[in-house]
Structure 1
Amino acid sequence: MKKIDIKTTDQEKIVGTYARYDMVADHGKGAVCVDEEGKEYIDFTAGIGVNSLGFCDDGWVRAVTKQLKKLQHVSNLFYTEPQTRVAEILTARTGLCKVFFSNSGAEANEVAIKAARKYSNNKYGNDINWITTLENSFHGRTMAAITATGQENYHKDFYPFLGNFSYCKPDDIDDLHKSINDKTCAIMLEVVQGEGGVVNLNKEFLQEVESLCRQKDMLLIVDEVQTGIGRTGTLFAYEQYGIKPDIVTFAKGIGGGLPIGGALFGEKVCDVLGPGSHGTTYGGNPVACAGALEVLDRMDDAFLKGVAEKGEYMKKKLNAIPAVVSISGLGLMLGVEIKGKEAKTAVAEALKKGLMSLTAKDKIRLLPPLTITYEEIDKGLKILEDVLK
């Protein structure tokens, strides 16, 4: 293959939907990424929470390679062992009943929306189809998922949207009650709003949401696309709030780098979708599921405790930086409010010094691989501290 100018060709040939940083990633190992010129970077992004085990983890590579040599795809018209095993593990560890596999978080949220409406339509008739989500939320970029997203800046230019969605102020119980009506079939939320600025929701508010759902036979949908699969120090973040969702959506970190998502369904809704009511060609692909099995196998109690401890360590060190105003988030999903410069400026400057990081609204967002070492944490935070001086 001929050598090309990657940046120039990208700008000429790829639709410009991404404001890319000025770096061409070439290869990586663990929490270290190397660009095309050989410069090393500490990775505090994990591919926006996807590379849960870091770059090219040995066990993950072996699992995926082994499956590639057996069967790369067969479609969901047939059974496959990797998909079935992932479903068995997820249901056993959550107490939920069944899984629908998709390719992404947006698709996972789409099937959750469809299942919620079908549940109520089957039980009460076609008029019970409203869904309440939260302001400042993010659920994806497909038309239903973007309608569910409670942020106007994601809505502009794409009207008209799906009907029968209402929006509630986060942590506002009075507004919660106002946002639902006698035709509401579900409430959908993130327990930590990722794209919205890594905002933790209040436990009392979440428990009131659950209580309302039980009283009115509405489904509680928890979007764990970014928070799930160990990111917050538990397999799913909702476990830390004492609530039991009817539907949990997941993606990102479960694949370890390959596209896979899905929705876990509880007892009330697990048999709502039957043959022909939903589907996907690639969902639950055997290679992606082989990677997911390796990820899930690593997520034992000791591993998850380690994630929580690394998160607390990072918070302590961040709090010692004078320019840091506040820190939000759980585990290794952190939002850092700073003073003295804009977050996007700090992130760009840190990249030049060898640290990959993210933004979320006006905060720096940190999502390192869950396998990151303390030495790598220290090295990355030192770069961030130097940038913020």
Structure 2
Amino acid sequence: MAIKTSPAFHVLIPAAGSGTRTGLSLPKQYRKIGGKMILRHTVEKFIQIQGLKSIRVIIDPEHAAFYAEAMQGLDIAPPVFGAKTRKQSVYNGLSAFSPSEQEDMVLIHDAARLFVSQESIYALLDAMSASLAATLAMPIADTLVDADYNPFDRDKISAVQTPQAFKINLLKKAHDFFRNDDRFTDDAGLIAAIGENVALIPGTRDNFKITTNEDMQMAERLLLPQLETRTGFGYDVHAFDPAPADKIRLGGIDIPYEKKLLGHSDADVVLHALTDALLGTIGEGDIGQLFPPSDMQWKNADSEIFLKEAVRRVRAREGRIIHADITVIAEAPKIGPHREAMQVRIAGMLGIEPSRVGLKATTSEGLGFTGRKEGIVAQAVASVAFPAA
């Protein structure tokens, strides 16, 4: 596949604001979502773009510690200290370029627009082959009116986004011309004000700027990991021990009964089937492979050990257990009176709510070894969500 190429360019990211409109005590660009600070997400969007010469972030000196944490491990240019307004901060960033870089291209991008796509960045860079200035901009789909409900022609209006691309010397000229005029809210507006054309390159709806708490919540939803659900099935059978007993272990609890199940461990057929179901979701064999009956350390072992090890292995793969469904096939003992206690016990082992544990019991209508009361069968299905590969 051909490697995408683009002209050489620099990036300036104004990030000196306080971000008060989100209602947060921490400046929004340093708020963590998806495990990273917003500023880190934004910077990483540009690092892999072909042609990148440098990235400079414009920061408030008081935020230096936040910035250092956000950029840890990244090899980028030192930050530039900002000023009271965005316009003045960008001017400080432009002033950091050397005389030999004045003919280079610079992209100005909002720190809080972390969802800009690589395709949009490349489209903007491509447009600069025929323009001195260009910006991403979204066509308006909504009806626009003023306070008196006078409509605007939305076909002639666009919502301006970033990044915006310029020749450094041209943008510096526009800033110098309007040095003491703080009416401008973006850099493309300065270029248009000195009579130069600004090319509008179609942006995307995802490239929104986090401004309010609602925007923050939307960003958090968009960064939720993509999940896949896997289903595992387990089956186990144990015969009754001919020796007399007064209780039987099923589903992690002791039930009064005249027989117990025969096995190397405590023979909890329910937990064994569920253990295999969980192991099935990660492709790690079965309970007999992990806890072989030939190993004496598992003699009379509590089957909770087996189930919890399966849970540990699932969680080590970042799995989240969603649901378990178990069917016990036996003529006796009766499961109904103990169903709720078993659900609570199993849920505790799995780390989920009891309502996420299905437990049913049935008979084989007198047929087969279960019908002859020679043993018990358990079947289990486990549903687990994993990060998508």
- Write 1 or 2 for the structure with the bigger share of helix: 1
- Write 1 or 2 for the structure with the bigger share of strand: 2
Same fold by TM-score greater than 0.5:
no
Q: TM-score range by the shorter chain?
A: under 0.3
Larger relative contact order (Cα-Cα within 8 Å, sequence gap ≥ 6): 1
